[in-house]
Structure 1
């Protein structure tokens, strides 16, 4: 993408790309707004140490577009966007930095709503909220849904079950072998759900102490980070960073299903084609990991946050995954294309309905 920003924006029909900078606080980053047909662009605020500025821009663009499709496919009345702050979340955070981000966000007047993401916390969201109301991920005492990682894990779990129904003939994961790559906040909760179901679990993470703790708590097997994707299992679950499905990993996979919570698992779209050709059923990442945002954004609905309604909405990811598997089979396309098609059809139909409504309002 380097040097061809407008070509990339045109190819995927982005609406806006904003850059922000504040010399006083040292903050610098970007906000991507992909599509607002269904509602205001919404997506997390990520803080990360990128190798260069182009990597940060590309990450925001890819993640923002993914949020559009995630909300559309999940039936949520929101568009997609993403914020990226360039910096080390372990050493460069400050109240001034996040308040500066909040002031910039407030200038967009609700076109983009932010939330927690990699490198940011609920406490950071509280600080941003001091400068702007356009923050969706908040603690319960602030009227938010609180910690959302258990619900991201729940939607990943539901996607696994739908895929297992298709490939294994049952949606029970009892005795099913699952390898989980990454046992951070989402991976941990996914392992808990799998353990409760009676799955045979193997885990790996770059944090060896974390692996030991999770393995001891749930009695799992462990593997090295560079071996976890080559295990002979029924389900491989990437729950760390993206681009895990690539030319190299495709030669190592010995699974029937890929279903995890990581964003942008396919390094390129053609890798989704290769999975399909190999007979591996892929649960598109923005479907599998949509539970956190579905649960989190329940507070935007009339009447405010309702936990039971939010959980039930997350559980319906099983139905969404089942639907896109049917589209994939009926139209002879890989599941990642079926997921895009499902989302695009909803955006198109809602867009037409809104256009008709505007025309009616003009006439009346």
Structure 2
């Protein structure tokens, strides 16, 4: 196993928004025997050790993977702070096609990699990884949450947090009836989107979905035949657009095409660029910042570190709605974007962090 620092011109001399992100640590790992190529980025540990999932994805280049892990880790700092958790932000990516390159040997090598950080970073699942994968990672490090020996897959918790956020945004926009009778376009029906669809239907919403993965759509239609399927929901005639796949779908051009009045979903880093938030505001589209809405999964897996009960976890996830309402109300009163208001909340909590961070919490074996 080889651990190296990335080339300086990819981190320290960037010309995009990430140039000022202030990541504390970025390390690369390569294990020749298993074929592992991975990057872990630790953004900020002022509130506590970094926690974030491991994304296994077929990136077009190492530079693309680095950009993704830098953005995602920064988002995890914001997510933990907005949720009021004593955690910092981190994220990992494994470069490769999980369908063809994922092996027990590679996952074990990755676990050894995580262990070298000695608790500065806790890993969990993300796109391309599962609780079963984390079971293998956990054979080589104790700094892993969300595996089958812990609280399990966090898909429902993420979906529940998004649902609570969506319901709050709908009530803020349309009154006490909220989602009842409203049309919601869910983009992506994986392990989060599928749960979200069920919660929306139970709340009386009409649901349209889009996902290029046909087996997933087929399974969803078998469980919920009333759901409509389209090639795209971003520009569909719906009241709510819920992006639950990969990020960066909110761009200057896509905002022009959106017909929904509310945007709220599980995808990370939904804005292509921070300036897109102002475009949404200009079009009078209510956007719930992704790092606020999708914190449910983080709250669940973090509960393993402090041994929270399932009842406590569900209550903490439900409290996301209170944060969403505060953001929407403050943004409306001050004429500001929801993104700026949420960023202020994060900055205030980071500024209030103790000057000397607490020691790494003990984890259950």
Q: For 1:110-161, what per-residue CA distance to the aligned partner results, in whole angstroms no more than 9, with x for missing partners?
A: 011101111111111111111110001121xx2x111210110000001101
Q: For 1:92-119, what per-residue CA distance to the aligned partner results, in whole angstroms no more than 9, with x for missing partners?
A: 0111111111111111100111011111
- 2:210 alignment counterpart: 204
Query: Equivalents in 2 of 1:43, 1:319: separation in Å?
Result: 23
Taking the TM superposition and a 5 Å limit, the aligned residue runs for 1:301-316 are: 301=306, 304-316=307-319
Q: Alpha carbons of 1:169 and 1:264: their partners in 2 closer, same or farther (altered >3 Å)?
A: same
Task: Tell me, yes or no, if structure 1 residue 281 matches structure 2 residue 313.
Answer: no
Q: 2:174 aligns with which of 127, 149, 168?
A: 168
Is contact 2:10–2:63 with CA below 8 Å preserved after alignment? Answer: no
Q: 2:242 aligns with which of 223, 228, 237?
A: 237
Q: 1:113 aligns with which of 109, 115, 122?
A: 122
Partner SS, residue 43 of structure 2: strand
- The ranges of structure 1 where at least 4 consecutive aligned residues each deviate by more than 3 angstroms after the TM superposition are 1-4, 7-10
Q: Alpha carbons of 1:299 and 1:340: their partners in 2 closer, same or farther (altered >3 Å)?
A: same
Q: For 1:218-276, what per-residue CA distance to the aligned partner results, in whole angstroms no more than 9, with x for missing partners?
A: 23342433x31111221110111111111331121111100110111111111111001
Q: Alpha carbons of 1:10 and 1:267: their partners in 2 closer, same or farther (altered >3 Å)?
A: closer
Query: Equivalents in 2 of 1:348, 1:332: separation in Å?
Result: 24
Task: Tell me, yes or no, if structure 1 residue 102 matches structure 2 residue 111.
Answer: yes
Query: Equivalents in 2 of 1:93, 1:59: separation in Å?
Result: 20
Query: Equivalents in 1 of 2:353, 2:333: separation in Å?
Result: 24
Partner SS, residue 91 of structure 1: helix
Q: How far 1:199 sits from its partner (Å)?
A: 0.5
**Bigger share in helix:** 1
Q: 2:304 aligns with which of 299, 302, 306?
A: 299
Query: Equivalents in 2 of 1:342, 1:110: separation in Å?
Result: 26
Give the structure-1-normalised TM-score.
0.92
Partner SS, residue 67 of structure 1: helix
- 1:341 alignment counterpart: 344
Taking only aligned residues, the RMSD between alpha carbons, in angstroms, comes to 1.9
Q: 2:136 aligns with which of 110, 114, 127?
A: 127
Q: How far 1:10 sits from its partner (Å)?
A: 5.3
The count of corresponding residues between Structure 1 and Structure 2 is 350
Give the structure-2-normalised TM-score.
0.92
- 2:55 alignment counterpart: 46
Is contact 1:163–1:171 with CA below 8 Å preserved after alignment? Answer: no
Taking the TM superposition and a 5 Å limit, the aligned residue runs for 1:171-190 are: 172-190=178-196
Q: How far 1:341 sits from its partner (Å)?
A: 1.1
Query: Equivalents in 2 of 1:16, 1:253: separation in Å?
Result: 37
**Any stretches of 5+ residues in structure 2 without a counterpart?**
1-6, 360-365
